[in-house]
Amino acid sequence: SSGDSVVTLLDYGAGNVRSVRNAIRFLGFDIKDVQTPEDILNARRLVFPGVGAFAAAMEVLTKTGMDEALCSYIEKDRPFLGICLGLQLLFESSEENGPVKGLGLIPGSVGRFDSSNDFRVPHIGWNALQITTDSGILDDVGNRHVYFVHSYRAMPSDENKEWVSSTCDYGDKFIASIKRGNVHAVQFHPEKSGDVGLSILRRFLNPNSNMEKKPGQGKASKLAKRVIACLDVRANDKGDLVVTKGDQYDVREHTEEKEVRNLGKPVDLARQYYKDGADEVSFLNITGFRDFPLGDLPMLQVLRYTSENVFVPLTVGGGIRDFTDSNGRHYSSLEVASEYFRSGADKISIGSDAVYAAEEYLRTGVKTGKTSLEQISRVYGNQAVVVSIDPRRVYVKNPQDVQFKTIRVSSLGPNGEEYAWYQCTVNGGREGRPIGAYELARAVEVLGAGEILLNCIDCDGQGKGFDMDLVKLISDAVSIPVIASSGAGAPTHFSEVFAKTNASAALAAGIFHRKEVPIQSVKEHLLKEGIEVRI
């Protein structure tokens, strides 16, 4: 291939760079990986997708001499695109586990969002840009949303104003992108921002192409509520990986054979939902609690294929825990998660293992740092770790009868009970545990969860709406984003959950699989109700 179609990529091996690779390839470019500092100096155009923690990244860069190469490349005004941490590292320092020194090319330091002011941290989701100068690459972003996921941000100041090309409002007005000459960096993820993101990448890779300037459609103004499509995946009795869907977690048909309900192929459905406008796609490997997911290579294949042309965030869950295989080889939960990230996942979700971790933490009051939740969030950042909760409603006559947080129910229990608590379960709802969803949510936030996926066994597959009592309880209990799940049956259920609770996102499976309601109709309905969504 001619040198003109080559993009040099700086990947220091800290996480999921597969999506950036896929996006570059999708746009018709070849990738050359940086092996030595000289590769940086010789690059025609360099993409630097920073992942992981600031300090760890700086350590690798200094140890390899890449820090100096990067500085001299950028000082020479060579074509550069930093993404996320790849933007932050250009500043003088970061508060993340620090202060830690950065590359020092741009005046200013990187600090944490303040979660005390009603804005949930991490900042996860699709937000709007305020463009301050013509950056050349953001041309047709106009009023569209782009995808952010981070807890730290750099702030504009008099000293760095010549660099800032756009800001984003999230409690703070922080720097969303910078541009000086041929040097660009973005805090959001173009490789995860659908068509808008791809066109930003295309403009960077191909600055001379005369792309028409499309007027910005839509009217993005703030963080959008997310609509997520969820694929519960497992092997059917023939051993094929299928998308299935349960009623209150029972995924078998009510026939004599009791076969696993089959709603389609995971990769095809994920692709379809991306085209239909899903803001994220989740895969749950629902038998992960008993089958080892790394033995389950098809699931890794599903991620690899899906991430080739699905450019919104992908979450995968199921089976993230320590495991010893039949040959006696031990795998840590961190290795399992790493394999998922390498295969194309942006976030992993932990179910059962997070319940055990929370129970132990509440019993001892000690953070050991050894649980899967803590380890994965330390290495990949808490924005990459979702905790999936599978609670079941338990009615009680008297709140004093249980040691868990109860709520006054909005409709009475079967024996006239006025109260309920939500009992957490493990192993796909098969075993109830002595911990409530409220207690679990608060504990996992402390242990490093960046987001909560809140299912509800009672509502799952019923199509009667989300459990509003539960979603309200949990979304008010924590300051990380909460995804409401289980029970969506109509567009009004989505507007209801956003109007009446503090959920940041709503997830559904059955109505999308059965093609009862397209994602687009859900979004149009939300817009009509005055709820901001990505279009």
- Bridge-based pairing of strands 123-128 and 145-150 is antiparallel
Residue entry with tokens 């040198």: 3
Q: Is 455 annotated as a binding residue?
A: yes
In the complex with ligand 1PR, the residue whose CB is nearer, 320 or 497, is: 320
- Any catalytic annotation for residue 279? no
Identify which of 112, 115, 124, 128 has the alpha carbon closest to the alpha carbon of residue 481.
124
Q: How far is the CB of 165 from ligand 1PR (least distance, A)?
A: 39
Is 401 a known active-site residue?
A: no
| Active-site residue, selected from the candidate residues 232, 280, 346, 359 | 232
Please count the other Cβ atoms lying within 10 Å of the Cβ belonging to residue 214: 12
373-377: long-range contacts at Cβ-Cβ below 8 A with a sequence spacing of 24 or more?
373/444, 373/447, 373/448, 373/449, 374/447, 374/448, 375/332, 375/333, 375/334, 376/320, 376/333, 376/334, 376/337, 376/348, 376/350, 376/448, 377/447, 377/448, 377/449, 377/450
Cβ of residue 249: shortest distance to ligand 1PR, in angstroms? 4
Question: Can you give the length of the chain in residues?
Answer: 535
Q: Does 494 bind ligand 1PR (CB under 6 A)?
A: no
Span interacting with ligand 1PR, options 38-46, 88-96, 100-108, 243-251, rule CB under 6 A = 243-251
The yes or no reply on residue 485 touching ligand 1PR (CB under 6 A) is yes
User: Which of 27, 163, 146, 150 has the alpha carbon at shortest distance from 90?
Assistant: 163
532 is catalytic: no
**Is 107:75 a contact under the CB 8 Å cutoff?**
no
Stretch that binds ligand 1PR, among 122-130, 214-222, 286-294, 518-526 (CB under 6 A): 286-294
Residue 145 CB coordination number (10 Å):
27
Binding-site string for ligand 1PR from residue 247 to residue 266, where x marks contact by CB under 6 A and - marks none: --x-x---------------
Instruction: Determine the angle formed by the axes of helices 491-500 and 519-528, rounding to 10 degrees.
Output: 50
- CA distances to 7, 9, 40, 195, 258 from 32, in Å: 6, 6, 10, 24, 51
Structural tokens at position 242 = 């299928």
Contacting range for ligand 1PR; rule: CB under 6 A; set: 25-33, 102-110, 152-160, 349-357: 349-357
Q: What is the CA radius of gyration of the chain?
A: 23
The answer to whether 508 contacts ligand 1PR (rule: CB under 6 A) is: yes
**Which residue in 279, 390, 458, 467 binds ligand 1PR (CB under 6 A)?**
390
- Choice between 279 and 353, CB closer to ligand 1PR: 353
Q: Which of the 8 DSSP states describes residue 103? A: -
Residue 145 bears catalytic tag: no
Does residue 319 have a known ligand-binding role?
Answer: yes
CB of 475 to ligand 1PR, least distance (A): 17
Please, which residues bridge with residue 229 across strands? 281, 508
HSE-up of 330 (CA within 13 Å, CB side)?
2
CA torsion sign for 140, 145, 149, 153 is: positive
The span of 13-21, 61-69, 147-155, 486-494 binding ligand 1PR (CB under 6 A) equals 486-494
Q: Is residue 391 involved in binding ligand 1PR (CB under 6 A)?
A: no
What phi and psi, each to the nearest 5 degrees, are found at residue 359?
-60, -45
Nearer to ligand 1PR, 120 or 245 (CB): 245
| Residues in 94-133 at the binding interface with ligand 1PR, rule: CB under 6 A | none
H-helix or E-strand spanning residue 18? helix 18-26
Nearer to ligand 1PR, 111 or 428 (CB): 428
Q: Is 84 flagged in the annotation as binding?
A: yes
| Comparison of 86 and 461: residue with beta carbon closer to ligand 1PR | 461
Whether 84 sits among the annotated catalytic residues: the reply is yes
Among 94, 377, 388, 504, binds ligand 1PR (CB under 6 A): 388
The residues in 428-467 that bind ligand 1PR, with binding defined as CB under 6 A, are 428-429, 455, 460-461
Give the DSSP H or E segment for 107: strand 106-112
Provide, rounded to whole angstroms, the least separation between the CB of residue 342 and ligand 1PR: 19
Binding residues for substrate: 319, 455
Residues that bind ligand 1PR (CB under 6 A): 230, 232, 245-246, 249, 251, 284, 286, 288-289, 317-320, 349-353, 388, 390, 428-429, 455, 460-461, 485-488, 508-510
Binding residues for L-glutamine: 84
Binding residues: 84, 319, 455
Q: Which residues are catalytic?
A: 84, 189, 191, 232, 390
